[in-house]
Structure 1
Amino acid sequence: MTTETWLALVAGALLGAGFLAFTRWRAERKRAQANTLVPHRTREVLAALHSGAILVRRDRRAAFSNTPASALGVTRPDGALHPGVADLAEIAWAADAEREDDIVVSRGVLGVDSVVHVRVTPLSDDLALAVANDDTERHAAELTRREFAVNVSHELKTPVGALSLLAETIEDNPDDSEMVRSFAKKIRKESRRLTKLIQEIIEISRLQGGESVVDHHELSLAGVIEEVCEGAEMHAESKHVNLVADIRTRPLVMGDHDLLVMAVRNLVDNAISYSDDSANVTVSLETEAGAAVLKVIDAGIGIERADQDRIFERFYRVDAARSRSTGGTGLGLSIVKHVVLQHSGTVDVWSKPGVGSTFTIRLTAHQEEQ
């Protein structure tokens, strides 16, 4: 090997070593600067917070961030910062005052959007503290409340408007006794529907507030079915529907008697209302793998597959015209869902148009009734 080649190799080695040493020096210098910028005790305090905490630098990067901040997706361990946080920090520095806002963050491989509330407080010309919290559930709850208020006002307008119109017509024609009698029946029907709607709105508001099931006690699910079937006899007879209670076992469950009666009654009333004359409606009860399985089976009009995913939504009606004619409010199945959820159970539906529907409730069975 020639002298020139040896010299070239040595020079290359020296250059490589020098570059590596320079790189390490820069990294150490940055680490030292960061430690000087964010003292160790400050890091310990921020790391202990449940909220996301980020110390934002002027260069739109994080001088420090804790684990919750990374979990929220507003920063990365390498110091990269979500643009929304960096923009909010610049606004706070410009105003020399605290600023807060909601930013939308896409997280995970599926890119699911979440809403993160961020509050930025300038600490100096070089640093600002950003505190982040997941606000997705609160936003969803607020949206649900707004939709609920709109739906309630819409649903109340129909019976109230009908009552007002009927009353005006009777007032204008007081001498037409036949018309007065006919309209009086309609007023009574609308009044009953309005009363039922208001009662169900109150019930579902209580259920969604999680305040209803406060005192669980052991009760007979068979007794609930027997009580519901006895109360629904008159409705079934008026529709010429054969209502059958098929109780194969008598499991005991932990729950609220009145709420379970309300849930089962809603299912049975629906089954009767949407069945043709002379049809059968069966309420069955059995025990499977430690679960009490209650089914309400009808041979009614059935539900299209596209509607089955939505029938437990509030105010959702498969057939709005028929629902109103039967006195339905669109809240019954939503109440059933919330009652069952509060009892740590499940409710699902099988249905086929022209064949019928089967609603199944599963609750944990504790033992058999003696």
Structure 2
Amino acid sequence: MTLEMWLAAAIGVVVGAAGMALVVALMKRRASDEGGNTTIPHRTREVLSALQSGSIVVRRDRRAAFSNHTASALGVTRPDGALHPGVADLAEVAWAAEQVVEDEVEVSRGVLGASSIVHVRVTPLSNDLALAIANDNTEMRAAEQTRREFAVNVSHELKTPVGALSLLAEAIEGNADDTEMVEDFAKKIRREARRLTKLIQEIIEISRIQGGESVIDHEVVPLAEVVEEVVEAAQVSAEARDVTVVADVSASPTVMGDHDLLVMALRNLVDNAINYSDRGSHVTVTLARDADTDVAVLKVIDAGIGISTENQERIFERFFRADPARSRETGGTGLGLSIVKHVVLQHSGVVEVWSKPTVGSTFTVRLTIHQEEQ
């Protein structure tokens, strides 16, 4: 094989699929020229090693004649030539069909047996060799599953207020002459309409946040102003439930981020604290600076009903409600804490929870302080 042919192959690899086709063609020619020889030339190894995908040259004895580092990292082959059974089976199918075959194989790795989904495409090169290209599809499959679950959950959540509105409208239509009943049902319709509006708005917000394009215009955000704005806005709903909301600001750190998103996240935490607190109790929002780690620390502390240990692991999931009955009463959608989690993640922060039933809950948000301030 000439130097020009190798250069063409390398250039083809850079440009993508066309390069892969050229590599396969060259390897087929080499395999044809050398008959049953399964030795992989040095130049071929160099080209396959340069691929971002896992690449394996599969032998007829179900072992790898060559594999690059990516293939080993994916767990479909080992440096000693051992091959994942699923890849070997695909190669057998490709040889039998004399055509390209592709499928997904499940790979278990680590002492905990964590599984990943690897997409493998096998091209037969000769009677003794086949080229397998592997790519990790775990995140894509997880994203597809998440989208399906989200669609199912949204449909389920929308059915409840829409169904209630339909029933209330029918009740009003059948009792149009009863003024007192019409007024009562009209209030219920307004409540369900507000719940539906809130649900739709939060669905839009979490979809936008998860799209990864929400924090576009970064700015220096004084967290003390965020706390002041949220506490002031929460006074009306707090007074309606006879809950006192106070701020305890011991520092004035700034962070780089989106002011409106940070306000939304903190407001969700405060609203939850108010809704799950008993009448006459207090909700405290604190802002401090951790001297050891030099990060801003926001806390929302309540003395409410608390969260059980098993539910603490799930409260940041979309549509999860630790107390469904309380959520229906307060109009909760189960999306508030999920929005908090994604906003904090997009600001390179972390959110934690401590809670004990009948004692209360503390939600802690840690954010990196603006570099110029540091």
Task: Give the shorter-chain TM-score range.
Answer: 0.7 to 0.9
Per the alignment, in what secondary structure is the counterpart of residue 341 of structure 1?
helix
User: Which residues of 2 match residues 49-68 of structure 1 at below 5 A?
Assistant: 49-68=51-70
Partner of 1:293: 297
Partner of 1:363: 367
Partner of 2:266: 264
> In structure 1, what is the Cα distance between the partners aligned to 2:371 and 2:46?
52
Give the C-alpha shift of residue 38 in structure 1: 2.4
Partner of 1:346: 350
Consecutive unaligned residues of structure 2, counting only runs of 5 or more, are 1-33
Per the alignment, in what secondary structure is the counterpart of residue 357 of structure 1?
strand
Q: Match for 1:257: what amino acid? A: H
Per the alignment, in what secondary structure is the counterpart of residue 139 of structure 2?
helix
1:106 maps onto 2:98 in alignment: no
1:263, 1:339 within 8 Å by CA — same for their partners in 2?
yes
> In structure 1, what is the Cα distance between the partners aligned to 2:305 and 2:78?
55
1:157 maps onto 2:159 in alignment: yes
Q: Match for 1:298: what amino acid? A: D
> In structure 2, what is the Cα distance between the partners aligned to 1:174 and 1:36?
87
Q: Could you tell me which of 218, 221, 225 is aligned with 2:223?
A: 221
Partner of 1:284: 286
1:243 maps onto 2:245 in alignment: yes
Compared with structure 1, are the counterparts of its residues 182 and 36 closer, same or farther at alpha carbon in structure 2 (3 Å cutoff)? Answer: closer
> In structure 1, what is the Cα distance between the partners aligned to 2:83 and 2:36?
16
Alignment deviations for residues 218-260 of structure 1 (CA, whole Å, 9 cap, x no partner): 1111101111111111111111111111111111111100000
Partner of 1:28: none
Give the C-alpha shift of residue 326 in structure 1: 0.2
> In structure 2, what is the Cα distance between the partners aligned to 1:269 and 1:238?
12
Larger radius of gyration: 1
Q: Structure 1-normalised TM-score?
A: 0.88
1:337, 1:347 within 8 Å by CA — same for their partners in 2?
yes
1:252, 1:367 within 8 Å by CA — same for their partners in 2?
no
1:302 maps onto 2:306 in alignment: yes
Alignment deviations for residues 17-38 of structure 1 (CA, whole Å, 9 cap, x no partner): xxxxxxxxxxxxxxx9997642
Per the alignment, in what secondary structure is the counterpart of residue 318 of structure 2?
coil
Q: Match for 1:168: what amino acid? A: E
2:221, 2:255 within 8 Å by CA — same for their partners in 1?
yes
User: Which residues of 2 match residues 152-231 of structure 1 at below 5 A?
Assistant: 152-231=154-233
Give the C-alpha shift of residue 357 in structure 1: 0.9
Alignment deviations for residues 170-208 of structure 1 (CA, whole Å, 9 cap, x no partner): 112211211111111111001100010011011111111
> In structure 2, what is the Cα distance between the partners aligned to 1:123 and 1:36?
11
1:124 maps onto 2:139 in alignment: no
Give the C-alpha shift of residue 96 in structure 1: 1.5
Partner of 2:148: 146
Partner of 1:13: none
> In structure 2, what is the Cα distance between the partners aligned to 1:64 and 1:295?
54
Tell me how many residue pairs correspond in the alignment.
338
1:107, 1:113 within 8 Å by CA — same for their partners in 2?
yes
Consecutive unaligned residues of structure 1, counting only runs of 5 or more, are 1-31
Per the alignment, in what secondary structure is the counterpart of residue 228 of structure 1?
helix
1:174, 1:180 within 8 Å by CA — same for their partners in 2?
yes
User: Which residues of 2 match residues 77-96 of structure 1 at below 5 A?
Assistant: 77-96=79-98
2:221, 2:259 within 8 Å by CA — same for their partners in 1?
yes
The two structures, once aligned, show a CA RMSD in angstroms of: 1.7
1:312 maps onto 2:322 in alignment: no
Q: Match for 1:88: what amino acid? A: L
Q: Match for 1:162: what amino acid? A: A
Q: Match for 1:160: what amino acid? A: V
Q: Match for 2:83: what amino acid? A: L
Alignment deviations for residues 28-71 of structure 1 (CA, whole Å, 9 cap, x no partner): xxxx9997642222121111112111111222222221121122
